[in-house]
């Protein structure tokens, strides 16, 4: 059998595919794997208790059971969920939006597949446009969703280092490749993989660029406000008709329900609604039925601010403390942890590529992600992109501590090895 060009593109080995296969094998296997590579949220007892109680309520109500398993929701999404979201963003943030501004998706990955291919690729006039990623490293899941190759463009980030072995990437406004045909600008905030929270001033500059070009600014809030709210610094969440906001229930503690939300101009949400009908027929019911009462009552907002954010903030501090202790004497930097659930490690002049380090750690039972996967659209081979690792600190403390110990041991051996 021979696959089509589409089939070959989407069945090949990719960074996100490798990640999910590694996680699946680790879960199914008998050997203990220290899973510091994936994006699975932590099992937070208070969140799980709330969700378990909500599931009990659903199971005890025959009408809800019928709605959950025996009915199709419309391709825009669950109506009560959509109305609850509209009311929430109006009341909490003052956004002047209607239900027509909102569409549900089958998770964020599905949303970005649709959005990127709406605004980039081949156009009827024969032109080709790209998605501008203003700050790489950027989410590994973006890289391979284009129906065509070479969908992204990016500038090399500015790096600021600090005496405490931390560093921070900044948007390289002076060298963004804006001379290319751009269909949309996209960033995650907080950034996956680094935990970077791009400043409000930088967001305004990017919005100005998008407005001038009459293209959308897509903001991926999968780890940000208002839920799950894994933010360790202040940041504004503003509305503009030029902005496409993307949200997810995954990092609230619901990765299994595959529920995403896009809030944008009605022309865009209508297009996604029609694409939902083609790609999914209908959307999953469980996420909206679990989450809508939490949204209406204010519990979702409270849990994000009072439970989820402090939980991850404390885990981040613990993991960084362990890193500094274990990596003492090694040339390393860790990106400032401003949100999300990852630490981004940089080993200047690493003796081997980070992909090889990933393989060595995998053999020792530690799963991380090689940094080279996170630089889509960057032209040229930048050594820095092969000197970094993404490490999740969402797992239980014992796993995080032992995984970091093994990472440090492996890296220390590399720097000691004769060159």
| Cα–Cα distances in angstroms (integers) from residue 328 to residues 320, 347, 408, in the given order | 12, 13, 9
Per-residue model confidence as pLDDT tens digits over 44-61: 999 999 999 999 999 999
Residue 43: predicted pLDDT: 95
pLDDT at 16: 64
What pLDDT does residue 373 have? 94
pLDDT (0 to 100) of residue 27? 56
Q: Where in the chain is the domain with CATH 3.90.1150.10?
A: 5-47+302-416
Tell me, what's the pLDDT at 338?
98
Per-residue model confidence (pLDDT) at position 148:
86
Intervals of the chain under pLDDT 50: 419
Average pLDDT, the chain: 93
Give domain 5-47+302-416's CATH number out of 1.20.58.100, 3.90.226.10, 2.40.10.10, 3.90.1150.10. Answer: 3.90.1150.10
The alpha carbon of 320 is separated from its chain's Cα centroid by a whole number of angstroms, namely 21
Say how far apart CA 104 and CA 283 lie, in whole Å: 8
> Shortest CA distance to 286 belongs to which of 123, 128, 55?
55
* Residues forming CATH 3.40.640.10 domain(s) in the chain: 73-298
- The strands making up 158-161's β-sheet, listed across from edge to edge, are 158-161, 166-170, 333-335, 342-346, 388-392, 369-370
């Amino acid at each position: 059998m021979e696959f089509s060009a589409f089939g070959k593109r989407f069945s090949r080995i990719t960074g996100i595919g490798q990640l999910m296969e590694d996680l699946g094998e680790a879960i199914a296997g008998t050997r203990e794997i220290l899973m510091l590579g994936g994006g699975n949220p932590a099992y937070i007892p208070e969140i799980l208790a709330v969700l378990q109680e909500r599931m009990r309520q659903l199971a005890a109500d025959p009408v809800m059971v019928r709605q959950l398993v025996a009915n199709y929701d419309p391709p825009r999404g669950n109506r009560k969920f959509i109305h609850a979201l509209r009311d929430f963003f109006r009341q909490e943030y003052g956004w002047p939006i209607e239900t027509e501004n909102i569409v549900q998706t089958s998770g964020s990955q599905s949303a970005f597949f649709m959005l990127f291919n709406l605004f980039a690729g081949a156009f009827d006039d024969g032109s080709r446009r790209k998605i501008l990623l203003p700050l790489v490293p950027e989410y590994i899941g973006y890289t391979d969703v284009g129906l065509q190759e070479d969908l992204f463009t990016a500038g090399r980030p500015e790096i600021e280092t600090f005496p405490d072995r931390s560093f921070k990437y900044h948007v390289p406004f002076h060298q963004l490749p804006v001379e290319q045909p751009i269909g949309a600008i996209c960033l995650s905030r907080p950034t996956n993989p680094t935990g970077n929270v791009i400043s409000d001033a930088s967001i305004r500059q990017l919005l100005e660029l998008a407005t001038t070009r009459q293209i959308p600014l897509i903001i991926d809030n999968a780890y940000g406000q208002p839920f799950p709210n894994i933010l360790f610094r202040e940041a504004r969440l503003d509305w503009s008709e030029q902005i496409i906001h993307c949200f997810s229930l995954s990092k609230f503690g619901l990765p299994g329900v595959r529920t995403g939300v896009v809030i944008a101009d009605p022309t865009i949400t209508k297009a996604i609604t029609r694409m939902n009908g083609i790609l999914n027929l209908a959307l999953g019911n469980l996420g909206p039925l679990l989450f809508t009462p939490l949204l209406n009552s204010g519990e979702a907002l409270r849990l994000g601010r009072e439970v989820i954010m402090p939980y991850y903030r404390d885990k981040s501090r613990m993991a960084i403390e362990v890193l500094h202790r274990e990596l003492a004497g090694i040339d390393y930097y860790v990106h400032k942890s401003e949100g999300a659930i990852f630490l981004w490690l940089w080993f200047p002049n690493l003796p081997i590529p980070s992909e090889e380090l990933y393989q060595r750690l995998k053999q020792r039972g530690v799963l991380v992600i090689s940094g080279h996967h996170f630089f889509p659209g960057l032209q040229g081979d930048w050594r820095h992109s092969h000197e970094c690792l993404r490490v999740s600190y969402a797992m239980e403390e014992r796993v995080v501590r032992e995984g970091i110990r093994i990472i440090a041991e492996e890296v220390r051996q590399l720097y000691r090895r004769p060159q």
